[in-house]
Amino acid sequence: MQDLVFPYGRPVTGRHLVGREKEVKKILSLIGNGQSVVLSGPRRIGKTSVLLEVLRRLRRRGWFVGNVDIFGATTSVDLAEMIVKTTLKNRGISGERIIGAAKEGIERLRRAVKLKHVTEEGYEIVLSFAGETRRPADLLDEALDFPDTFASKHKKKMCLAYDEFGDLKKMDGNLIKKMRAKFQRHQSIVYIFSGSQESVMDSLFRDRKEAFYGFATPVELPPISRQAFSRYIKRTFTSENIESSPAVISRILDLTEGHPYYTQLLCQVLYYRVRGRKEIRIEQVNDAFEEASLMQQSYLEGLWSSLSRTAPLQLLICRLMASKEGASPYVELNDTKQNIYYGIRSLLRKGILRKDDGSYELVDPLFSEYLRRKG
Ligand SMILES: Nc1ncnc2c1ncn2[C@@H]1O[C@H](COP(=O)(O)OP(=O)(O)OP(=O)(O)O)[C@@H](O)[C@H]1O
Ligand SMILES: [Mg+2]
């Protein structure tokens, strides 16, 4: 993955992060004012990339930073470990090594590190990983407060990001309440919450009944500007000595509708096809698009079959939007207004549909194409 000319499939930062300066600056300014942020948006729109870029810049400004990806945590102990590890990294301490040693017992930990150092640096919490009698819930309790204690001990401000935060709901409802109660007392930490399950993310922060209501300022990620993407594509091909004409770039962005993941994927596939040549022809763009679509086939089929199984009306709405731009489901579909309303609402929440200038459109250009071909 390291060598991709157009990176896809992993978050992008620095020169590969296209057209997000405004959002990055806005988040930095909120965080600078001590205001926590919630970043939500459809899948693969670039949430993690923006989040990592923000952390990268904060680190350069001398902040402590941390990133916990809830997706990777299945138990309370996993989560506790992630929080402790990402926090310790700010002092160049390998949580991996130390927690590993602690789990093998206090003796092994004693041999691995100077316990005096542990106390001086203020990370006694690793001792808890050694205690077999400790309840996982208590360990997590301690871990949730650890970044705040650690940062204030080192007289630093810290920004801690929780990615795929919506997944927490799957773990344990009480945990979320507990987090809120703790986080609002933290003096040295500003939080970023990000997640792709928009429904859960939205309700967590916008529903009065939910624990995180009003806790963080929402920041949305709009589509990336065509102009910014055009410049990036041109520049990146040029750096590989390949000429990309305005017509070629225009074709690329028409096909992907500027969707960041697909644009990078298409450009990378195209790059493999044209490398060593000087120019790109339009047919090569079309062929690369076919290839890129095939690479996404199982994902698209999965989306189709889950909708057709659980929500046939939603699938009908999607098919309509794919076949007829700007169409109104209320006019075209034969169902009650109420059912259609709920269908649309659900698709908006799942990030499958978005509203643009008063009409609905599918977020995923490849899904759109897939539906059109299926007929
Ligand atoms: N601003 C950007 N400029 C260029 N490419 C981008 C940008 N944002 C995202 N991408 C592309 O889209 C892909 C997905 O980005 P990222 O992982 O940040 O999105 P996400 O919203 O966190 O996705 P998920 O919902 O899967 O967590 C990246 O691998 C990259 O190829
Ligand atoms: Mg992500």
pLDDT digits (tens, 9 = 90+) for 72-101: 888 888 999 999 999 999 999 888 888 888
Given 247, 263, 295, which residue is the final one in a domain? 295
The pLDDT score that the predictor gives to residue 208 is 85
20 in contact with ligand 1, CB cutoff 6 A? yes
* Closest atom, ligand 1, to C-alpha of 8: 31
Give the pLDDT band of residue 137 (cuts 50, 70, 90): confident
* Closest atom, ligand 1, to C-alpha of 44: 23
Give the pLDDT band of residue 375 (cuts 50, 70, 90): confident
**Structure confidence by residue, pLDDT tens digits, 313-354:** 999 999 999 999 889 999 999 999 999 999 999 998 888 998
Cα-based distances in Å from 165 to 70, 202, 252, 360, 370? 6, 11, 33, 27, 30
105 in contact with ligand 1, CB cutoff 6 A? no
Burial of 163 (0-12, 13-18, 19+ CB in 10 A): buried
Given 199, 220, 241, which residue is the final one in a domain? 220
| Average confidence score pLDDT of the chain | 91
- Give me the torsion for CA of 290, 292, 295, 297, rounded to 10°: -60
The pLDDT score that the predictor gives to residue 154 is 95
CB of 345 closer than 8 Å to CB of 355? no
Distance CA 171, CA 169 (A): 5
Give the pLDDT band of residue 199 (cuts 50, 70, 90): low
Q: How far is the CA of 50 from the centre of ligand 1 (A)?
A: 8
Give the pLDDT band of residue 47 (cuts 50, 70, 90): very high
Q: Do residues 198 and 54 share a domain?
A: yes
Q: How far is the CA of 118 from the centre of ligand 2 (A)?
A: 33
pLDDT at 48 over 90: yes
pLDDT at 63 over 90: yes
CB of 362 closer than 8 Å to CB of 344? no
Residue type, 249: I
Residue 304 lies in a domain: no
Question: The domain that contains 267 carries what CATH number?
Answer: 1.10.8
The pLDDT score that the predictor gives to residue 223 is 85
Element (H, E) at 39: strand 37-40
Kindly report the protein residue whose alpha carbon is nearest to atom 17 of ligand 1: 11
Overall number of domains in the chain: 3
Give the pLDDT mean for 274-291: 95
Residue type, 64: F
Kindly report the protein residue whose alpha carbon is nearest to atom 12 of ligand 1: 261
Kindly report the protein residue whose alpha carbon is nearest to atom 19 of ligand 1: 46
Q: Do residues 68 and 204 share a domain?
A: yes
Distance CA 353, CA 148 (A): 39
Given 161, 196, 220, which residue is the final one in a domain? 220
Residue type, 76: S
Q: Among 187-191, 204-208, 323-327, which is the least confidently predicted range?
A: 204-208
Q: At 298, is the secondary structure helix, strand, or coil? A: helix
Sign of CA dihedral 104, 108, 112, 114: positive
Q: Do residues 287 and 337 share a domain?
A: no
Q: Which of 116-125, 128-137, 309-318, 348-357 tops mean pLDDT?
A: 309-318
Element (H, E) at 243: none
Give the pLDDT mean for 281-306: 94
Instruction: For residue 170, give the nearest of 98, 108, 303, 79 by alpha carbon.
Output: 79
Q: At 313, is the secondary structure helix, strand, or coil? A: helix
pLDDT at 130 over 90: no
Q: How far is the CA of 119 from the centre of ligand 2 (A)?
A: 35
Q: How far is the CA of 357 from the centre of ligand 2 (A)?
A: 27
Distance CA 29, CA 32 (A): 5
Indicate the top mutation candidate among 68, 264, 271, 296 to test ligand 1's pocket, ranked by most ligand atoms within 8 A of CB.
Answer: 264
The pLDDT score that the predictor gives to residue 220 is 87
Q: How far is the CA of 43 from the centre of ligand 1 (A)?
A: 8
Residue 48 lies in a domain: yes
Q: How far is the CA of 134 from the centre of ligand 2 (A)?
A: 32
Give the pLDDT mean for 149-176: 89
DSSP 124: T
The pLDDT score that the predictor gives to residue 117 is 83
CB of 182 closer than 8 Å to CB of 212? no
**Nearest ligand, measured from the Cα of 224:** 1
Q: pTM for this one?
A: 0.89
Looking only at the bridges linking them, the beta strands covering 217-220 and 353-356 are unpaired
Residue 267 lies in a domain: yes
Q: Do residues 277 and 315 share a domain?
A: no
The pLDDT score that the predictor gives to residue 2 is 56
Instruction: For residue 253, give the nearest of 231, 275, 281, 276 by alpha carbon.
Output: 231
- Which one has a higher pLDDT value, 202 or 1? 202
Within 8 A by CB and 6+ apart from 32, the residues are none
Range of the domain at 82: 21-220
Q: Among 85-99, 189-203, 223-237, 264-278, which is the least confidently predicted range?
A: 189-203
Kindly report the protein residue whose alpha carbon is nearest to atom 9 of ligand 1: 46
Query: Which neighbouring-strand residues pair with 190?
Result: 159
Distance CA 190, CA 164 (A): 17
* Closest atom, ligand 1, to C-alpha of 265: 31
Q: How far is the CA of 49 from the centre of ligand 2 (A)?
A: 7
Distance CA 301, CA 321 (A): 18
Give the pLDDT mean for 281-301: 95
Element (H, E) at 53: helix 47-60
Question: The domain that contains 215 carries what CATH number?
Answer: 3.40.50.300
Residue type, 75: T
Q: Do residues 278 and 153 share a domain?
A: no
Residue 10 lies in a domain: no
Give the pLDDT band of residue 198 (cuts 50, 70, 90): low
The pLDDT score that the predictor gives to residue 71 is 86
pLDDT at 132 over 70: no
* Closest atom, ligand 1, to C-alpha of 41: 21
Give the pLDDT mean for 295-307: 93
The pLDDT score that the predictor gives to residue 233 is 97
Q: Do residues 362 and 259 share a domain?
A: no
Q: Do residues 291 and 360 share a domain?
A: no
Q: Do residues 323 and 210 share a domain?
A: no
Q: At 340, is the secondary structure helix, strand, or coil? A: helix
Burial of 87 (0-12, 13-18, 19+ CB in 10 A): buried
